[in-house]
Structure 1
Amino acid sequence: MRIPTLYRDKSWQRFFAGFFIGLLFGWMFFLYHFGTVHEKLVLKIGDQQTEIEKHENTIEILREDQDEQNEENQKMLTVQDIRIDFINEGDIKLSELTLHDLRAAVESELEEVRNKDIETVANSSNFIYKTVENKVFIINDKRYQLKVEQLFLFTTLKMDVMIVPAE
């Protein structure tokens, strides 16, 4: 059995020559376009990398500034408001006017801590306890004493107190 001698036929030679020349041109075309696209992508990635680094540096600087500003603001925090809550106001059954007058009397006693630095007020919390607990408040010819249950201190001084009739 013999292989046919098609390699000598001019039409087949032209077909294979065209096929290989087309293959070479296609391969060169692919390499050229792949190279240009790859180069553009590498440049774009490089630009994005520098932009990301620039933004990270900016973010780091802003965070440092924010941290410094937060520390300064915490040092400068002051007591802005005083809030008094009565724990047993439902049990003792006082009128709203009496509760309001009692709350106003306690707030006037604690008025000195308003606009003071929180750290200073925190250091003198025993003084605040004693000021409220040792005072006898007279409202509508009745005497009341308060017992401090909890004291929350931030920009608002919140005090939970229990009303006890004075002896």
Structure 2
Amino acid sequence: MHIPPYHKKPSWQLFMAGCAIGGIIAYIVLLSMYGKMYEGLIEENVKQQAEINDLERQNEALLKDKEDLNEKANEPRVVESIVVQITNWDSLRLDRLIIHQLEELIKEEINYIVGRDVELISEMDELLISTIENKAFTVDDFTYYFQVEKLTIARKVKLSVFAELDGP
């Protein structure tokens, strides 16, 4: 019995070439879908890590405040959390991951105010603003400087900052 040489026929050659090209295209589509899914998971992980850090800081500050409250009956209001908002993130075309990293860096820079008296913090608001404005924050080889547009001091300190890119 003889097996016919299909590799010499043009129709079989086209079929095999189509299978090879289809396999390559399918692999590229698979890689792009995996990349998008992985990017979403990384973003979710960064958000959850930031939330965990905020909750841990808040928990530590509140536990310390509770201990102080047991010692003193008339404890003044204290700062419980910090919220940072970058107002011009869309004009700088910042990625959501970079935004979260920058917000975390700013929160870490002024984290010392959590658990402190609101009145004390409101008296030193210029120091708080200059702390943020005079510091360079570096993420992915880019340096960012911030100008504080709005500062609200209450139990939740809210910062609205304007970002300026210095370059690599």
TM-score in terms of structure 2 length: 0.54
Q: Distance in 1 between matches of 2:131 and 2:150?
A: 14
| Residues 137-152 of structure 1 aligned to structure 2 (within 5 Å) | 137-152=137-152
Larger Rg: 1
Q: Distance in 2 between matches of 1:80 and 1:156?
A: 6
Aligned residue in 2 for 1:109:
109
**SS of aligned partner of 1:116:** coil
**SS of aligned partner of 1:130:** helix
Deviation at 1:163, TM superposition (A): 0.6
Q: Distance in 2 between matches of 1:144 and 1:160?
A: 15
Q: 1:75-103: per-residue Cα shift (whole Å, max 9, x none)?
A: 61100000001111111111011111100
Q: Distance in 1 between matches of 2:95 and 2:166?
A: 17
Gaps of 5+ in 1: 1-71
Q: 1:124-166: per-residue Cα shift (whole Å, max 9, x none)?
A: 1011010000000000011000000000010000000001012
Higher helix share: 1
Letter in 2 for 1:79: V
Aligned residue in 1 for 2:123:
123
Aligned residue in 1 for 2:95:
95
Aligned residue in 2 for 1:136:
136
Structure 1 vs Structure 2 CA RMSD: 1.5
Aligned residue in 1 for 2:78:
78
Q: Distance in 2 between matches of 1:77 and 1:93?
A: 38
Q: Distance in 1 between matches of 2:143 and 2:86?
A: 16
CA contact (8 A) 1:136 1:166 kept: no
Letter in 1 for 2:100: H
Q: Distance in 2 between matches of 1:123 and 1:101?
A: 28
Letter in 2 for 1:160: S
Number of aligned residue pairs: give it. 95
Which aligned segments of 4 or more residues in structure 1 are displaced greater than 6 angstroms? none
Q: Distance in 2 between matches of 1:142 and 1:87?
A: 18
**SS of aligned partner of 1:90:** coil
Gaps of 5+ in 2: 1-72
Q: Distance in 2 between matches of 1:111 and 1:131?
A: 11
TM-score in terms of structure 1 length: 0.55
Q: Distance in 2 between matches of 1:155 and 1:166?
A: 33
